[in-house]
Structure 1
Amino acid sequence: MIGQGTPVLAAGAGASAGQKLAPHRAVYDMKLGDTEEQAGIAGLSGRMVYDFSGNACEGYSVNFRFVTEFQDTNGGSQITDLQTTSFEEPAAASYQFLSKTFVDQKLVEETRGTAHAGADARTVELKQPAEKSLEIGGDVLFPTEHLLAILKAADENVHFLAADIYDGAETGEKVYATTTVIGARAVNDLQGNADAVAASLDGETYWPVTVAYFDPSKDDASGELMPVYQLAFRLYENGISSHLKLDYGDFTIHGKMASLELYEEGDCPQD
């Protein structure tokens, strides 16, 4: 899982057919990690659900939901509910997305549209929040394309990557710049000391990965671009993620896998 936001060898290094992703549904319990006083957060709890299906022949579908309840230092609370669905065609030919954000059960943001890959650029046709057409760079990656490229790089022992990413986030007009650090290959060796959820990943190869997301339209007075947030996780060779950590600068959120369901894989000779 790479946030609905979740790198490639810079320009246009597409994913190979050799990277095979496991259709699955993963649920993560989220809790507050480190926090600084200026964050104004007294507590946080939540749940993230990532439902992934499809293959290289049929395309990839993602249903994602992230619900969090914040308690502030003044005694107030707020529930945020982010819901997204997307479909990415084979070979990243197009990317359809719908995203809704609710705050205390009230819809505050909705984005819907389709991005198409062209010879020199990718075009986006937005329907919500308003009808609009725009172009993004031809080297910009869609989310599953991005994930596959990370796995390809990791498999080839490439440890640093950069890419521009489009996932339809916020108003559908934003392209994030990302940098990714990929750690050394490891094997999940639980030695029998694990619950049923963790045991399903016993013996699987993974890499520790950290992805930093930047908004190129925002920099500080020095001109230095600071990350909007960073996502760290274990990325398994089948595309499943565990041990999540979201770092927003003045607070962090940790995600522990609460359940994992593997779906039946469809036949696809391209995998």
Structure 2
Amino acid sequence: MQIVPNTVPLAAGTIILIALAALAPGTHALAANAGGAAGHKLVPHRAVYDMKLADAEEQAGIAGLKGRMVYDFSGDACEGYSVNFRFVTEFQDKNGSSQITDLQTTSFEEPNAESYQFLAKTFVDRKLVESTRGTARAGEGGITVELKEPSEKSVRIGSDVLFPTEHLLSIMKAADDGVHFVAADIYDGAETGEKVYATTTVIGTNARNDVAADSAGGVASLDGLAYWPVTVAYFDPEKDDASGELMPVYQLSFRLFENGISGRLNLDYGDFTIQGQMASLELYEETECPRP
């Protein structure tokens, strides 16, 4: 799983779950070193999560939050991976006013991380307020992003920047090797399509799942599966506090299962936190793919 919020005004806690991709050697630096994680079979699936406000400090101005997130993942390591995602939230402020945000995204990542296509639309009270669309392609000199929205332009980012699936794959490889800390720069098309985040990931000890503890309805297909507790902190390199220290924009904690499904989401923005619990899980038929 990967979760990547874009921006967070009063009512826009947003996350994108990106499936893991099995990569072959020859892509950019971290990805080439991560190929050993391909032993984990990734399951095409549709997961629904109920989201709620866990806690909020006074300065957040949030009195309540409820929402639902739907994540639909399909594809394989031979053809690439597609993700369709929607996250609808309703925020209430201290004055009794409410606002509904609706984030809708689609993305496709080619095998070997050769390219990453993305389209994201954000609606506030049913009005479109942001749209980002483009394609990022890896080449010898780095990664080139061809943006179509919000404006047409080309952007160059570093060769060591990872796409979301590469990032998750590097986490899986580190977990398999007993490594508990991973640092990487990530590009996911966030905001206007020009943002690169710095991330640090802490990986906990492997454990076995208790189905009753992971979802409200008891998702039996996760019962007994191995998982890692994972926390990813996202930093904006362009921002720091008054002391010059770089502070995380947000932190995401979740259970990363061995089949690529994510559970027990916790999204911490500092002055408020959103929790997600799996409400339902549908597994799709798996396609034949000779790659590990």
Please classify the TM superposition score into its range, dividing by the shorter chain length.
over 0.9
Deviation of 1:268 after TM superposition, in Å, equals 1.0
Alignment length (residue pairs): 268
Tell me the residue number matched to 1:166.
187
Q: Does the aligned pair in 2 maintain the 1:35–1:252 contact within 8 Å? A: yes
Tell me the residue number matched to 2:13.
none
Tell me the residue number matched to 2:61.
40
Is 1:66 matched with 2:83? no
Tell me the residue number matched to 1:179.
200
Tell me the residue number matched to 1:28.
49
Other structure's SS at 2:30 match: coil
Other structure's SS at 1:146 match: helix
Deviation of 1:193 after TM superposition, in Å, equals 10
Which of 231, 243, 268 matches 1:222?
Answer: 243
Equivalent position amino acid for 1:223 in 2: G
Within 2, Cα distance between the matches of 1:212 and 1:144?
Answer: 16
Is 1:122 matched with 2:139? no
Give the TM-score, by structure 2 length: 0.88
CA deviation digits over 1:177-227, x for unaligned, max 9?
000000000011348998654321011000000000111111112111111
Q: Does the aligned pair in 1 maintain the 2:216–2:279 contact within 8 Å? A: no
Deviation of 1:269 after TM superposition, in Å, equals 1.1
Matches within 5 A, 1:126-205: 126-190=147-211, 197-205=218-226
Sort the Cα spacing of 1:123 and 1:204 in 2 relative to 1 into closer, same or farther, 3 A: same
Between 1 and 2, higher relative CO (CA 8 Å, sep ≥ 6) is seen in 1
Within 2, Cα distance between the matches of 1:26 and 1:149?
Answer: 23
Sort the Cα spacing of 1:194 and 1:169 in 2 relative to 1 into closer, same or farther, 3 A: closer
Which of 246, 251, 269 matches 2:267?
Answer: 246
Structure 1 segments unaligned to the other structure (5+ residues): none
Give the TM-score, by structure 1 length: 0.94
Query: Percent of counterpart pairs with the same letter?
Result: 76
Matches within 5 A, 1:205-220: 205-220=226-241
Runs of 4 or more, structure 1, over 3 Å off, are: 4-7, 189-197
Within 2, Cα distance between the matches of 1:190 and 1:202?
Answer: 5
Within 2, Cα distance between the matches of 1:198 and 1:238?
Answer: 14
Sort the Cα spacing of 1:113 and 1:190 in 2 relative to 1 into closer, same or farther, 3 A: closer
Q: Does the aligned pair in 1 maintain the 2:215–2:277 contact within 8 Å? A: no
RMSD: 1.8
Tell me the residue number matched to 1:3.
3
